[in-house]
């Protein structure tokens, strides 16, 4: 076990450097980044959830005293040891406002006007001097920081990009012509059916069986005349 104070500050600075991937929310997902390592973008948090996340990811005990059960707010942070400004060290916390507090931020630089990293609106975390915020009263708090330090030496897991859809090839229609294709037989003009052949009335006696008639007449005459004497 060792002091995680430096790791807490480094993670707060890392968050500031990656602020484009942080969202400000007071909704149920505000503590969703706690328990996710390596960190996964986007990270959702409000001011107290951000302070809690910095402590958790650095390996420190829960500053809310709730064993990182995804609960806590400025009011639960007030159970920490209140200290005067001249004893403030990087890694300590400030709570602004009366009662259970209006806002909280993490101190990264001590002095007469401590520098904090604050996550109080969309576009944060941001560097903010205590005098810039100005809300009163201002309570500086110290928490237990003994643990196994973990530093921001890993790349965060970026959200999966949507699968790219390959463009579909466009059919080449330039070879299509209005004329019939080579393998097609052009349609021919329909041929009218042949008219039936009509025979002219016969005028040739031979054509009408005239010789046969003559033979029949000769036979009849022979029968009538009877046999020759």
* CA–CA gap between residue 77 and residue 88 (Å, rounded): 16
pTM to 2 decimal places = 0.70
pLDDT in tens, the chain (229 residues): 899 999 999 999 999 999 999 999 999 999 999 999 999 999 999 999 999 999 999 999 999 999 999 999 999 999 999 999 999 999 999 999 999 999 999 999 999 999 999 999 999 999 999 999 999 999 999 999 999 999 998 666 666 666 665 666 665 655 545 444 444 444 455 555 555 554 444 444 444 444 555 666 666 776 666 655 4
* CA–CA gap between residue 78 and residue 102 (Å, rounded): 12
Which pLDDT value is given to residue 153?
A: 85
Q: Which CATH superfamily is domain 2-147 in?
A: endopeptidase domain like (from Nostoc punctiforme) (3.90.1720.10)
Phi, psi of 58, rounded to the nearest 5 degrees: -80, -10
Which pLDDT value is given to residue 60?
A: 98
What is the distance, to the nearest Å, from the Cα of residue 104 to the centroid of all Cα atoms in its chain?
A: 35
Residue 91: name the closest of 126, 132, 142, 15 by CA.
Answer: 142
Phi, psi of 116, rounded to the nearest 5 degrees: -120, 165
């Amino acid at each position: 076990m060792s002091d995680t104070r430096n790791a807490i500050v480094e993670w707060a600075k890392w968050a500031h450097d990656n602020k484009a991937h942080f969202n400000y929310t007071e909704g149920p997902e505000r503590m969703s980044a706690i328990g996710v390592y390596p960190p996964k973008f986007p990270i959702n948090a409000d001011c107290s959830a951000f302070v809690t996340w910095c402590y958790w990811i650095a390996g420190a005990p829960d500053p809310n005293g709730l064993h990182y059960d995804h609960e806590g707010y400025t009011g639960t942070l007030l159970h920490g040891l209140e200290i005067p400004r001249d004893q403030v060290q990087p890694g300590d916390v400030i709570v602004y406002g009366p009662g259970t507090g209006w806002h909280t931020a993490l101190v990264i630089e001590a002095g007469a006007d401590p520098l904090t990293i604050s996550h109080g609106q969309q576009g944060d975390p941001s560097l903010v001097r205590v005098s810039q915020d100005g809300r009163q009263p201002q309570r500086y708090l110290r928490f237990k920081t003994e643990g196994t330090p973990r530093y921001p030496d890993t790349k965060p897991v970026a959200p999966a990009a949507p699968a790219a859809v390959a463009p579909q090839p466009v059919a080449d229609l330039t070879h299509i012509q209005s004329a019939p294709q080579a393998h097609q037989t052009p349609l021919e003009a329909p041929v009218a059916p042949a008219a039936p052949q009509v025979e002219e009335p016969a005028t040739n006696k031979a054509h009408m069986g005239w010789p046969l008639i003559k033979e029949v007449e000769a036979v009849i005459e022979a029968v009538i005349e009877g046999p020759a004497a």
